C-alpha cells in the first residue's frame, strides 16, 4: 500500500475520533458547553496517543516494512506534516 493511502486512512480515523468526541457539543449550551469543551481539550494527549496507535496499526495492517533507517525516516518525514495538521484540527473551532 502506498504512503498516500495510509495517510488517507489515517486522516479519516483522526476525523472520526474528533467528530465522535465533539458530538455531545450539539446538545449543550452555556456553561455546560464550556465545561464539555474544557474536558475535550484536556483529552488532547489521548488524541495524540490515538494518532500514534492508529498509524502503527495501519503500518502493521498493510505489512509496511522498512528495510533501512532511511526508509523509516522518509516515512516519518512524509507523515510529520499530517500530524501537525491533525493536531490543529483537534482544537479548531473550540476556542472561538
Confidence of residue 1 (pLDDT cuts 50, 70, 90): low
Contact present, 90 and 18 (Cβ < 8 Å): yes
* Confidence (pLDDT) at 19: 97
* 96 has a pLDDT exceeding 90: no
* Confidence (pLDDT) at 95: 75
The H helix count followed by the E strand count for the chain is 4, 0
Separation of alpha carbons 14 and 84, rounded Å: 12
Name the nearest CA neighbour of 13 among 82, 60, 76.
Answer: 82
* 61 has a pLDDT exceeding 80: yes
Region 79-89: what's the mean pLDDT? 95
Amino acid at each position: 500500500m502506498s504512503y498516500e493511502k495510509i495517510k488517507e486512512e489515517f486522516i479519516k480515523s483522526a476525523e472520526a475520533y474528533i467528530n465522535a468526541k465533539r458530538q455531545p457539543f450539539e446538545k449543550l449550551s452555556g456553561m455546560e458547553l464550556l465545561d464539555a469543551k474544557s474536558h475535550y481539550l484536556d483529552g488532547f494527549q489521548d488524541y495524540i496517543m490515538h494518532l500514534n496507535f492508529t498509524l502503527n496499526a495501519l503500518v502493521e495492517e498493510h505489512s509496511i516494512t522498512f528495510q533501512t533507517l532511511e526508509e523509516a525516516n522518509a516515512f516519518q518525514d512524509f507523515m510529520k506534516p499530517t500530524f501537525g495538521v491533525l493536531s490543529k484540527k483537534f482544537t479548531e473551532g473550540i476556542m472561538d
